[in-house]
Amino acid sequence: MLPPDGRARVVVERVRPEIDCGVFAVKRIMGESMVVEADVFTDGHDSVAGEVLYRCAQQSDWQRSPMKPVGNDRWRGEFRVVECGRYEYTVEGWIDHFETWRRAMIKRIQSGQAVQTECLIGAELIEEAAARATGDDALKLREWARSLPNDQQLALDEELRNIVQRYPARQFANRYEKLLPLLVDRKKAGFSSWYELFPRSSSPAANTHGTLRDCEARLPYVASMGFDILYLPPIHPIGHTSRKGKNNEVAAGPDDVGSPWAIGSEEGGHTSIHPKLGTLDDFDRLLAKAKEHGIEMALDLAFQCSPDHPYVREHPEWFRRRPDGTIQYAENPPKKYEDIFPLNFETSEWRDLWQELKRVVLFWVERGVRIFRVDNPHTKAFPFWQWLIGEVKSTHPDVLFLAEAFTRPRVMARLARIGFSQSYTYFTWRNTKKELTEYFQEITQTEMREYFRPNLWPNTPDILPEFLQAGGRAGFAIRLILAATIGSNYGIYGPAFELFENTPREPGSEEYLNSEKYELKQWALNSASAGNLRSLIARVNRIRSENPALQSMVNLRFHETDNSEVICYSKTTSDLSDIIIVVCNLNPFHTQRGWINLDLDSLGVDARRAFQAHDLLSDGRYLWNGPRNYFELIPESLPAHVMKVRKWVRTERDFDYYL
């Protein structure tokens, strides 16, 4: 069978980025540039040209951005995404007959050949470009076409070349075989600072269940530390059947409040508020008050049920039954969660289940919630999440989903590819220089960077890592600085974090003793220890907000140190207008000294000139010369430097100052 048009001779292949042959979308943030590369070539010796074609999903017309050769038939182009939502893009290539003529013409002129005929050919090509041009460009091209036969040097004119290239002849153009998806999220998907707290522990009175109004009173405290997202664990009614007691004990006492993740009771399910927390009106008020403080609310999305959830009575077909007729409760052997029934995503009534869960999400979206932290998404079906996220974002493209999935690498990557806006990471357990360097190079320097947005958490209500158990205040400070400066998205579970809560349930366990998951807590927010780390948290968040280099992970680069207990890395803006160098002691017990060896070329710093390194943590200023510089980091007082590079600038009046 003959092709549609055998005259389309240009080959377009190996377009990058492309995720799983175009099945999944590349991700970008509003305002970012999308760089696209492709192999574009043809038979013989003709010159080729290429463009990136792109458009919002709802548009029919393509926008075009020219591509430039980067060597070995590889071409590169870019465009900026300015709207939130779905895009698609592809690459188109064609024979550039004018450039083919011009290239040959230059060689003929340089070798002294007669070029009268070639001038006539060129004049025809210029006339054709004039027919496609408009305004002054068309007039100039027609004048060039008339003059060329009598002035062969016009073939070398760069202005002529530039104008002709504005109006390419895309005759017989070939397009890449696929339209590739691109998902553009709002800026908070790429830069955010999360703070998690339990509203029921926000009462000022001891042993008293907190309310959403009490949580409202905590907003100034959260805002004072510079957090812009307040994440609440489930705020729904909690079941009574098989309710867990303190420290996850199987038998609950009459006053035990249970786990918020055991969702549902006779008082309602996933669209209800726990009566002791308040009402939906109280929630709406909290949402509005948080906005006044510059804080956005994130809700926990835990698709599971207590035995008392209305779904169990109304839709028993949504749950898996054991041979004895009882409903299967959640297990992660040897752990048992008798207070939680997982949903069965293999039920024959899966369509009704999916639609109901979508209704739950849209219920909160319509109340103004735009961020969801999704509990254990890896225990639910991938196709469900792909459908749900796509459905929600088709009408509300500003909604963000954080995947709380501390699971196998390929599962975490799959969740990111199918649409989750951010992902929890293994940062929580990466402590050494080698571990941190290898892990974040994988995330930022492989294809993962195109779809996986890490969110770094030093602790969670479920996880008290060994580093925090043993490291004391210095350990908490080190993990805070690392999370906030390596990551552009990070969060802490507080007030446990700023109060250095570090006692495990038992040796070798990562669970908290007297975990807030199972009981009310009263936190001493105004204690000296809280104030000390609270001020450091506030300073770190202020540094993040004032330095665009820390608001992305695109330009993360690691630098050499001669001390295995110290890590050094830099982050920069694409134009190098903001340069941050972090030197961090990874040992919370001992002072570390040594030398760093900076890759100054990557930072745009002249190795022959001194530059000022301004430590934004201590406000100290250091004059550094060349790539090799000394450090000394005392964990109790100064576990890290967060250096802003200030280059020398020579002025017209011949004196220097720091930029």
Contact 585, 478 (CB under 8 A): yes
Contact 68, 77 (CB under 8 A): yes
Q: What is the pLDDT of residue 233?
A: 98
Instruction: Please give the structure tokens belonging to residue 2.
Output: 């003959």
User: What's the CATH number of domain 557-658, 3.30.559.10, 2.40.50.140, 2.60.40.1180, 3.30.300.30?
Assistant: 2.60.40.1180
What CA–CA distance (Å, rounded) separates 90 from 165?
A: 20
Q: What is the pLDDT of residue 649?
A: 60
- For residue 185, report the phi and psi dihedrals to the nearest 5 degrees: -105, 165
Average pLDDT over residues 390-409: 97
What CA–CA distance (Å, rounded) separates 27 from 554?
A: 12
- For residue 476, report the phi and psi dihedrals to the nearest 5 degrees: -65, -40
What CA–CA distance (Å, rounded) separates 310 from 410?
A: 35
- The residue to which tokens 């009310």 are assigned: 520
Instruction: Please give the structure tokens belonging to residue 582.
Output: 């972090």
End-to-end CA distance of the chain: 65
Percentage of the chain modeled with pLDDT above 90: 93
Residue 561: name the closest of 586, 588, 589 by CA: 586
DSSP strands (E only) in 463-609: 489-493, 557-561, 566-572, 579-585, 592-597
Average pLDDT over residues 187-204: 98
Q: At what angle do helices 466-486 and 433-445 cross, to 10 degrees?
A: 40
* Higher-scoring residue by pLDDT: 171, 548: 548
Average pLDDT over residues 83-90: 97
- Residue 230 pLDDT > 60, yes or no? yes
User: What's the CATH number of domain 188-548, 1.10.10.10, 3.20.20.80, 3.40.50.1000, 1.20.120.1630?
Assistant: 3.20.20.80
Contact 355, 392 (CB under 8 A): no
What CA–CA distance (Å, rounded) separates 133 from 640?
A: 59
Among 99, 196, 375, 516, the one annotated catalytic: 375
Q: What is the pLDDT of residue 100?
A: 96
What CA–CA distance (Å, rounded) separates 251 from 518?
A: 12
Q: What is the pLDDT of residues 522-538, one digit of tens each?
A: 999 987 666 689 999 99
- For 177, how many CA atoms within 13 A lie in the half-sphere containing its CB? 6
What CA–CA distance (Å, rounded) separates 476 from 588?
A: 9
Q: What is the pLDDT of residue 228?
A: 98
- Residue 417 pLDDT > 60, yes or no? yes
Question: Is 375 one of the catalytic residues?
Answer: yes
SS3 617: coil
| Bond before 3 cis per omega within 30 degrees | no
Among 96, 356, 404, 565, the one annotated catalytic: 404
Q: What is the pLDDT of residue 187?
A: 98
Average pLDDT over residues 220-239: 98
Q: What is the pLDDT of residues 331-366, one digit of tens each?
A: 988 888 999 999 999 999 999 999 999 999 999 999
Question: Is 308 one of the catalytic residues?
Answer: no
Average pLDDT over residues 213-233: 98
- Residue 240 pLDDT > 50, yes or no? yes
Q: What is the pLDDT of residue 503?
A: 97
Q: What is the pLDDT of residue 656?
A: 44
How distant, in Å, are the alpha carbons of 45, 204, 494, 499, 512 from that of 525?
73, 10, 10, 8, 19
The answer to whether the 11-184 and 188-548 domains have the same CATH topology is no
What CA–CA distance (Å, rounded) separates 414 from 408?
A: 10
Alpha-carbon 27 to chain mean position: 8
What CA–CA distance (Å, rounded) separates 344 from 332?
A: 16
Contact 538, 226 (CB under 8 A): yes
What CA–CA distance (Å, rounded) separates 388 from 379?
A: 15
Average pLDDT over residues 562-576: 97
Contact 543, 617 (CB under 8 A): yes
- For 581, how many CA atoms within 13 A lie in the half-sphere containing its CB? 28
Alpha helical stretches, state H, 196-338? 212-224, 280-292, 310-314
Contact 271, 357 (CB under 8 A): no
Q: What is the pLDDT of residues 434-456, one digit of tens each?
A: 999 999 999 999 999 999 999 99
- For residue 344, report the phi and psi dihedrals to the nearest 5 degrees: -100, 105
- The residue to which tokens 């979308």 are assigned: 25
Q: What is the pLDDT of residues 313-324, one digit of tens each?
A: 999 999 999 999
Alpha-carbon 167 to chain mean position: 38
What CA–CA distance (Å, rounded) separates 649 from 646?
A: 9
Residue type present at position 498: E
- Residue 654 pLDDT > 50, yes or no? no
Question: What ranges do the domains of the chain cover?
Answer: 11-184, 188-548, 557-658
Instruction: Please give the structure tokens belonging to residue 172.
Output: 């017989």
Residues whose CB falls within 8 Å of the CB of residue 487, separated by 6 or more in sequence, listed in order:
427, 454, 455, 456, 553
The chain-wide mean pLDDT, for the chain, equals 95
Q: What is the pLDDT of residue 214?
A: 98
Q: What is the pLDDT of residue 652?
A: 53
What CA–CA distance (Å, rounded) separates 173 from 12?
A: 10
The model carries a pTM of: 0.95
Residues whose CB falls within 8 Å of the CB of residue 272, separated by 6 or more in sequence, listed in order:
236, 237
Q: What is the pLDDT of residues 257-314, one digit of tens each?
A: 999 999 999 999 999 999 999 999 999 999 999 999 999 999 999 999 999 999 999 9
Q: Phi/psi zone of residue 524: left (φ > 0), alpha (ψ -120 to 50 degrees), beta?
A: beta
Domain 11-184: CATH superfamily is Immunoglobulins (2.60.40.10)
Contact 634, 606 (CB under 8 A): no
What CA–CA distance (Å, rounded) separates 122 from 62?
A: 30
Residue 401 β-bridge partners: 372
Q: What is the pLDDT of residue 4?
A: 86
Contact 9, 43 (CB under 8 A): yes
Which long-range CB contacts under 8 A does 140-143 form with residues at least 24 apart? Answer: none
Residue 422: name the closest of 185, 81, 223 by CA: 185
Residue 227: name the closest of 466, 16, 452, 457 by CA: 457
Q: What is the pLDDT of residues 605-636, one digit of tens each?
A: 999 889 999 999 999 999 999 999 999 999 99
How distant, in Å, are the alpha carbons of 208, 232, 532, 594 from that of 202?
9, 12, 21, 45
Instruction: Please give the structure tokens belonging to residue 637.
Output: 């007082």
pLDDT tier at 3, thresholds 50, 70, 90: confident
Q: What is the pLDDT of residues 460-518, one digit of tens each?
A: 999 999 999 999 999 999 999 999 999 999 999 999 999 999 999 999 999 999 999 99
